[in-house]
Structure 1
């Protein structure tokens, strides 16, 4: 089985080596590089083709969100996991905007970290399900969707053809309203796993890496409409 290729962007040697030991002990991961220098990081991304990048949100030598943004620009399919020193809604919002697939505090357990890396490497989007159910945060995410849509409104006519099934469009519409997976499952009377399966299918069809990008893509093409929070 091909191993999950991981890059670690963390300036604390003890924590960095701890992550390496945890992931390598699973037998499923290989660490292809570690750095906090943006030039070195981007070179590693280009030459080593990592599947997952673990980024410490508490970096002092570089802007971690800027690193995440540039990494995603260089390799759109890479999964970004943000590890934060503490709960911070502003940092969480910015992590959503740069397309992070997961966001955890640094007190995550070894088993949770290993499982998160496995899941994001398969294209799953693990930004906590309850994030978009927080009213203020949901409002900010929706406003961000609207601004991104307006910016590109003049690029051309809306594409009325959608590669998505009617159920997939329906699920994207629920996501745009700020619903979590659990809320979508309850509203549509389907299981949480079925919702996750649909989202995985959506990401593959649209060739995007996360739900934020999928919703923005659907809004730009006129497949779903913007809702007020």
Structure 2
């Protein structure tokens, strides 16, 4: 796996690099600074599997940069920044990014985000400052969309008393993917176990 870290701060890049190698010990990591250099790197290096991209770099508008990056590369894209409002999050996903992670996220959330994205899911950091819950970009006031469709499906199956193995079979995914979804929904609902998740979701009207 080849990962490119694009950020203007060398200290941040180096720290993130260490975390990434803890999560993916066999990964090869590269670093760039600035959108233009990142685009040029991706044009020449077609084997990048994952791009972690700081949307706050200043050499060009991030929307324009992301559009060009998506044109030249098939890499998964995780956007990072110090904050993002709901409109920005929608634009990020519409432009082809696979997820958003706040720079305030801890190592556990980074791990969760990367593994979900790697499994073809979308991740939106809970610490996004958008005023909406994790993965809820629809602006609903009912609380019915605080989880992704896959997380809601997992929660419904948990409420039916099914084990991770049974959930994986029903959804046609691996048990490890089910565990990732469970970890994500526990974070979203601010609970520590499956039982609390079901009780909280019932109170919110999610299930």
TM-score normalised per structure 2: 0.60
Task: Name the CA distance, whole Å, in 2 between partners of 1:132 and 1:180.
Answer: 13
Confirm or deny: 8 A CA contact 1:181 1:196 kept in the other structure.
no
1:42 aligns with 2:39: yes
1:110 aligns with 2:107: yes
2:18 matched residue in structure 1: 21
1:83 matched residue in structure 2: 80
1:10 aligns with 2:27: no
Cα RMSD over matched residues?
A: 3.2
1:32-53 CA-to-partner distances (Å, cap 9, x unmatched) read 3323142x32232133221111
1:131 aligns with 2:100: no
What 5-or-longer segments of structure 1 have no aligned partner? 137-174, 199-229
Confirm or deny: 8 A CA contact 1:52 1:117 kept in the other structure.
no
1:55 matched residue in structure 2: 53
2:117 matched residue in structure 1: 120
Cα shift at 1:179: 6.3
Q: How many residues align?
A: 153
Q: Given the alignment, which residue of 178, 181, 187 partners 2:150?
A: 181
What 5-or-longer segments of structure 2 have no aligned partner? 126-133, 175-207
Q: Greater share of helix residues, 1 or 2?
A: 1
Confirm or deny: 8 A CA contact 2:90 2:137 kept in the other structure.
no
More relative contact order in 1 or in 2 (CA 8 Å, sep 6+)?
1
Task: Name the CA distance, whole Å, in 1 between partners of 2:75 and 2:86.
Answer: 23
TM-score normalised per structure 1: 0.55
What SS does structure 1 have at the residue aligned with 2:124?
coil
Confirm or deny: 8 A CA contact 1:79 1:123 kept in the other structure.
no
What does residue range 133-212 of structure 1 map to in structure 2 within 5 Å?
133-135=138-140, 180-184=149-153, 197=173
Task: Name the CA distance, whole Å, in 1 between partners of 2:14 and 2:171.
Answer: 36
